[in-house]
Structures are given as C-alpha cells and as structure tokens.
Amino acid sequence: MSKALRLSEKWFQRGLWLVALVFAGFLIGLGSSVVGDLPQVEQTVGLEDFIDKPAAAQVRATIATGHKAEEAADAALEQANLKHQTARANSSAARETFDNWLATRGATGRADQDPELIRRTQALDALATAERQAQSAIEQQEQVALDARQSVQAAQTQLDALERAADVGWQQAQRAQELRVFGYRLALTLPLLAIAGWLFAKKRKSTYWPFVWGFIFFALFAFFVELVPYLPSYGGYVRYVVGIVLTVLVGRQAIVALNRYLEKQKLAEALPDAQRREELSYDVALARLAKGVCPGCERPVDLKNDSIDFCPHCGIGLFDHCAPCHTRKSAFAKFCHACGASATVLPPVAATPPSV
C-alpha cells in the first residue's frame, strides 16, 4: 500500500501512526493506574483477623511472662555463679592455708595447738558449707530458667497451633479477595476488548482511524498485560482451559473470515470485468500490482510479460490501450503514461482467429 501513496501522504500516514501510538500510551498509563488501584477497593486482611484472639492473647501473655522470668533467672544465675566462684576461691585458699599449717604442726608436734586446729577445721567447714550453698543457689536458678524456657516453648507451641488454624481461613480469604479483584479487572477490561473488536471491524478505516487504533492497542495491552497475569491458575487448569477457549474462538473466527473472503472472491470473479475494476480501490490495485499479484484475485501474475493483458486465474483485465495513442497501459491507471490523456478505456483487443 505504501508504494501507491504520494510522498506527503506517506509522511502524514507515519505521523498519524505516531499519534495513534502516543494516544495508546496515554490510555495505557491511565488504565494501568486504574487497574493498579483496584485492589484498594477490598479491605486488607491479615492473619490476626482469623486467629482466636482471647486464646492468642492469653498464650502471648504467658510467653511474655516466661521471657521475663527467664531473663530474671539468667540474671540471678550470673550472680549465683559469681558468688559460687568467690566461695570456691575462699574455700580453696583456706584449705591450702590449713594444709600448710597442719604440716607445720605435724613437724613440731605441739599439743597446745589443738584448739587452733579445731578452730581452723571449723572455719574450713564453714567455707565448704558456703561453697555448697552457692552451688545450690546456682542449681535453683538453673531450674527456674529451665522452667521458664519450657513454659515459653509450650506457649509457643500453642500459639503456632492457633496460627496454623487461622492460616487456613486467611488463605481462603486471600483467594476469595484475589478472585474479586480479578473480577473487577475483568469487568473493566473485557468491555474495552469488546469495544476494540467492534472498532476494528467497523471503524479502522474511518477518518479518525489513529484514535481507533490507539484505543485498540490500549485494549489489547489492558487485557493481555493488565489482566492475564492475574488469571487464577489452580494448578494451571484455568489458564490452559482459557487458552484453549480463546484459541478455539480466534481460530473459528479466522476460519469463518477465510470462508467469507473466498465466497466474496467467487462472487466478485463472476461480475463483469469493468464493474470489478470500478469496485477495486485505486490504491489497493496499485499496491497489489506492485507486489506482482492480480488486483482481483491476488494470485501471482507475470506482469512483465507483454502478451498478458488478462489475469489467467480470474479473467480481470490488467492492461488495455489508450484511446488517443493506442499505447498499452495498465487498466487501473487513471491517465496514459505515454500521452497523458484521461484513461478512457477501450475494449481490450482480442486475438483475431486466423482465417480459414
């Protein structure tokens, strides 16, 4: 088609296509904003909306109390360990001193030191008792910390069970919400696609075709980019079924259009030659001739062969002769290329059978 257009017309066509693309870009931007804001119509739900709140509050309070008790037990355990280390150091030092004194007494053998022996032994026993008490305090704090940890673990187990039970309802609510949002998107994009189909069928060659094509591009983008990625999957079944249905519908329309086109071609080929040329658009005829095909039936024809004046497939006239100068020219040309006269068509010269 572009070879049949004037130079200025080509640039106007390109500019109008640019207008169509820019128009589609603005529509796509607006549509993306609207589709992106559709989830805000639904109220956002979380796991806390489906959990048993009284039971969860009680369990969380138990966990918090357990953590505090564990922290307090750990702090007391540190103090008890420090006291135990001090008591063990005192006991060890006193025992070492006592051993040295006892060795000295054994060497001298003085009986007047027996009261001192008793006093030192009692002091050593007191230190050992203090060390044992410090060890007992450590064991008590370890038991308190262990009880606190076990309490926290048991409460955490209960909380996990409550959250698992709530997660089922939450997932169901999320799926229902996604389906509703998808329904909103479908209700918005499907009418746009239907309008785009009607515009393509009825208005794509109208005066305002750039806006028609811009809207068609926008509708296709809204459907295949803004809607299809949010199509529910359910293991792929929904998407595959939708793909099959769309393929069948598009394929059926293509088959119907092909049969309609072939029937139209058959009817057109049955019309008189002059009427067929009149019904063909000048630009369409030139574009098809430039491609080396018949303007009537679109089958290949050797247009460089000077002996071919008619299409051998459908019989439409491809070349005739100028009335003033009798030059062979295209039957679809409006003016003679040799003399510039208006294309007053003469009946194509038929081959005269040889006389017998």
Q: pLDDT at position 185, please?
A: 82
Residue 350: pLDDT band with limits 50, 70, 90: very low
Average pLDDT over residues 242-260: 86
Residues spanned by the domain of 256 = 233-270
Three-state DSSP state, 348:
coil
Same domain flag for 176 and 121: yes
Residue 346: pLDDT band with limits 50, 70, 90: very low
Same domain flag for 314 and 246: no
CB neighbour list of residue 218: distance below 8 Å, 6 or more residues apart: 23, 24, 27, 28, 31, 192, 196
Same domain flag for 98 and 239: no
Is residue 4 included in any domain, yes or no?
Answer: no
Tens digit of each residue's pLDDT (9 = 90 or more) over 178-224: 788 888 888 888 888 889 888 888 888 888 888 999 999 998 888 88
Is residue 31 included in any domain, yes or no?
Answer: yes
pTM above 0.75, yes or no: no
Is residue 192 included in any domain, yes or no?
Answer: yes
Q: pLDDT at position 169, please?
A: 83
What is the tally of structural domains in the chain?
A: 3
Same domain flag for 238 and 217: no
Is residue 115 included in any domain, yes or no?
Answer: yes
Read off the tokens for 299. Answer: 């089958």
CB neighbour list of residue 198: distance below 8 Å, 6 or more residues apart: none
Is residue 80 included in any domain, yes or no?
Answer: yes
DSSP state of 256: H
Same domain flag for 186 and 325: no
Same domain flag for 224 and 246: no
Same domain flag for 55 and 183: yes
Same domain flag for 259 and 244: yes
Maximum mean pLDDT: which of 161-165, 179-183, 273-277: 161-165
Residue 113: pLDDT band with limits 50, 70, 90: low
Same domain flag for 224 and 288: no
Question: Other C-beta atoms within 10 Å of 38: how many?
Answer: 18
DSSP state of 55: H
**Which of 194, 210, 228 is where one domain is finished?**
228
Tens digit of each residue's pLDDT (9 = 90 or more) over 287-335: 888 888 888 888 888 888 888 888 888 888 888 888 888 888 888 888 8
Tens digit of each residue's pLDDT (9 = 90 or more) over 39-71: 777 777 777 777 888 888 888 888 888 888 888
Q: Which amino acid is at 349?
A: V
Same domain flag for 246 and 294: no
Same domain flag for 33 and 181: yes
**Which of 197, 228, 259 is where one domain is finished?**
228
Could you tell me which residue, 278 or 254, shows the higher pLDDT?
254
Is residue 341 included in any domain, yes or no?
Answer: no
Q: pLDDT at position 22, please?
A: 92
Is residue 54 included in any domain, yes or no?
Answer: yes
Same domain flag for 239 and 115: no
Q: Which amino acid is at 142?
A: E
Average pLDDT over residues 223-239: 72
Is residue 6 included in any domain, yes or no?
Answer: no
